[in-house]
């Protein structure tokens, strides 16, 4: 088993691995010549193949790996939920390294027995135990140069006078009480549930070199343990919609991508170990529809369904990619907070300048904008609904903003700049107040373009949104408002 005599659970992970220190004098070198093929006796080759199980992976290597925490996976234990570790997924004995040793030893023994029989046939039945065979001779007498048994699959080869075994292991198992919490990691708050069966994948790989000198060289050892989850795409029929998901800016609904979507993983998370590092890993193929996509207007082009591809092995930004270019811009460059924050600042300014108080007996905006800012008339104005949504936390997506702003014709996306129009109507006798208000609002960070009959307010922060950041920066988002007389 991996880890030799190390006690406790053992973990499994994928990719490159641990390299044992090689002994001296592995090859006989002929001066000014090429490297000679290494020969060894039958007993030497046999003894070496018996060392695989004990040398495949050091105990300390496994111990460090199985202590790795998996940030997006949780496990319930004794009625308490905590972040999972590799040793919650992997048990000692999950990867039977003795099985690999048996596979290699049986193959080697079969080839050596054939070679021994051929030697004895050529020497009147006599056997010389000191006689040596080369790796090439052994390879040519293998009954099979590939194998697939006991979870292991791989092949034999000859390289530099040695037998090289490349092997990979896979096992699926079920671990109870696993759950996923991914919003912080992937910036999409999507409901995921553990697969009902075979919800954990254990993988390992290694390259073993046998050269007949009494030691086993193990290279490119890799371990991988992952928990497997699927998107919630079914409707429970209880009035809730667990398919809804929230991104940085948009609201989504999970959709199935295949007929067997209840048994196929859409997201996995775990930890890997290789010869250079031990760390967390994640993968995902998440499928969504952008909800109410028509409400975004003709200025934004999104084609449903959209796919969110995740792969921790890739460099940023390719590790988190949306299939739709517009969604990629909105989700990776912007956030709902960067849209709501300037609107909240505007709300505070309007509130402070709309009502008579002891500190402000003559508010700038009293009886302006057709009662929009009047205490008794705000209920009939879309801005009031928007502000209430912001204050209550109900505004969580771009679609929520547009739903509250009932007079909006949608948004536009120009050169990676998002523009959200709003409309405010002034009383016919309030043009002067409107101009004063526009000048004051400009101080909040909006640019104001003035027309004899139109005041267009655009937040200055929109310029910042032209910058591309990754994976999920909190960048200022453009907002605009119109005040028409």
In the chain (485 residues long), the average pLDDT of successive 10-residue segments reads 40 33 30 50 93 81 91 94 96 91 95 96 96 96 95 96 96 97 94 96 95 88 96 84 94 88 91 89 96 84 95 92 94 86 79 76 62 38 67 85 67 71 55 67 64 43 32 31 32
Q: Is 365 left (phi over 0), alpha (psi -120 to 50) or beta?
A: alpha
Q: Which letter does DSSP use for residue 299 in this model?
A: B
Q: Which two tokens stand for residue 116?
A: 């021994």
| Angle, helix 97-122 to helix 42-49, in steps of 10 degrees | 170
Q: Give the list of residues 6+ apart from residue 254 with CB closer than 8 angstroms, or none.
A: 190, 191, 231, 232, 233, 243, 244, 245, 286, 287, 288
User: What is residue 4's predicted lDDT score, i.e. its pLDDT?
Assistant: 40
Report the relative pairing of strands 192-194 and 244-246 from DSSP bridges.
unpaired
| Sequence spans of domains, the chain | 13-291, 330-484
Contact 360, 352 (CB under 8 A): yes
Q: Which letter does DSSP use for residue 189 in this model?
A: B
User: What is residue 277's predicted lDDT score, i.e. its pLDDT?
Assistant: 87
User: What is residue 72's predicted lDDT score, i.e. its pLDDT?
Assistant: 96
User: What is residue 447's predicted lDDT score, i.e. its pLDDT?
Assistant: 58
Distance of alpha carbon 414 from the chain centroid: 29
The pTM (predicted TM-score) of the whole model is: 0.77
User: What is residue 200's predicted lDDT score, i.e. its pLDDT?
Assistant: 98
User: What is residue 390's predicted lDDT score, i.e. its pLDDT?
Assistant: 77
User: What is residue 350's predicted lDDT score, i.e. its pLDDT?
Assistant: 74
Q: Which two tokens stand for residue 451?
A: 């027309």
Q: Which letter does DSSP use for residue 188 in this model?
A: -
Contact 250, 397 (CB under 8 A): yes
Mean model confidence pLDDT for the chain: 78
Distance of alpha carbon 473 from the chain centroid: 17
Q: Which letter does DSSP use for residue 23 in this model?
A: P
Residue 231, classed as helix, strand or coil, is strand
Torsion of CA 424, 429, 433, 437, to 10 degrees: 10
Report the relative pairing of strands 192-194 and 216-231 from DSSP bridges.
antiparallel
Alpha helices in 353-444 (DSSP H): 382-392, 398-404, 431-442
Q: Which two tokens stand for residue 396?
A: 């969580």
For residue 325, what are the CA distances in angstroms to 301, 329, 413? Answer: 9, 6, 11
Q: Give the list of residues 6+ apart from residue 78 with CB closer than 8 angstroms, or none.
A: none
How far apart are alpha carbons 471 and 475 in whole angstroms? 12
> Which run of H or of E encompasses 381?
none
Q: Which two tokens stand for residue 60?
A: 């300390």
Report the relative pairing of strands 200-210 and 412-414 from DSSP bridges.
unpaired
Which residues, in sequence order, are bridge partners of residue 484?
A: 425, 454
Chain length of the chain: 485
CB atoms within 10 A of CB 406: 12
């Amino acid at each position: 088993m991996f880890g030799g005599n190390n006690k406790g659970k053992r973990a499994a992970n994928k990719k490159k691995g641990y390299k044992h220190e090689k002994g001296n004098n592995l090859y006989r070198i002929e001066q000014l010549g090429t490297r000679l093929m290494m020969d060894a006796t039958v007993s030497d080759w046999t003894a070496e193949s018996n060392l695989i199980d004990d040398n495949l992976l050091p105990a300390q290597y496994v111990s460090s790996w199985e202590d790795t925490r998996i940030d997006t996976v949780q496990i319930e234990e004794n009625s308490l939920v905590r972040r999972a570790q590799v040793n919650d997924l992997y048990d000692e004995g999950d990867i039977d390294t003795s099985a690999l040793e048996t596979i290699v030893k049986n193959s080697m023994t079969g080839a050596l027995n054939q070679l021994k029989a051929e030697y004895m046939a050529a020497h009147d039945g006599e056997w010389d135990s000191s006689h040596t065979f080369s790796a090439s001779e052994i390879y040519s007498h293998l009954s099979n140069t590939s194998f697939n048994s006991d979870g292991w699959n791989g092949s034999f080869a000859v390289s530099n006078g040695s037998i090289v075994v490349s092997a990979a292991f896979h096992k699926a198992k079920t671990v109870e009480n696993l759950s996923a919490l991914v919003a912080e990691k992937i910036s999409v708050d999507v409901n995921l549930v553990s697969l009902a069966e075979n919800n954990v994948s254990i993988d390992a790989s290694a390259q073993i070199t046998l050269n007949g000198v009494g030691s086993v060289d193990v290279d490119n050892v890799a371990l991988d343990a992952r928990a497997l989850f699927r998107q919630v795409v079914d409707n429970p029929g209880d009035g809730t919609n667990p398919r809804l998901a929230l991104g940085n800016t948009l609201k989504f609904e999970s959709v199935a991508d295949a007929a067997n979507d209840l048994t196929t993983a859409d997201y996995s998370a775990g930890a890997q170990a290789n010869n250079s590092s031990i760390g967390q890993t994640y993968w995902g193929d998440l499928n969504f529809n952008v909800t109410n996509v028509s409400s975004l207007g003709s200025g934004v082009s999104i084609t449903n369904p959209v796919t969110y591809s995740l792969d921790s092995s890739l460099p940023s930004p390719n590790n988190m990619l949306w299939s739709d270019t517009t969604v990629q811009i909105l989700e990776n460059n912007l956030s709902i907070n960067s849209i709501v924050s300037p609107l909240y600042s505007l709300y505070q300014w309007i509130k402070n300048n709309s009502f008579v108080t002891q500190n402000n007996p003559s508010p700038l905006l009293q009886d302006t904008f057709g009662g929009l800012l009047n205490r008794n008339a705000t209920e009939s104005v879309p801005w009031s609904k928007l502000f209430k949504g912001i204050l209550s936390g109900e505004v969580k997506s771009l679609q929520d903003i547009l739903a509250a702003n009932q007079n909006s014709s949608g948004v536009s996306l120009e050169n990676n700049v998002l523009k959200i129009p709003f409309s405010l109507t002034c009383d016919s006798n309030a043009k002067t107040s409107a101009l004063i208000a526009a000048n004051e609002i400009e101080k909040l960070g909006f640019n104001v373009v003035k027309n004899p009959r139109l005041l267009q307010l655009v937040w200055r922060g929109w310029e910042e949104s032209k910058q591309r950041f990754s994976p999920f920066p909190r960048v200022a988002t453009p907002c605009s408002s119109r005040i028409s007389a």
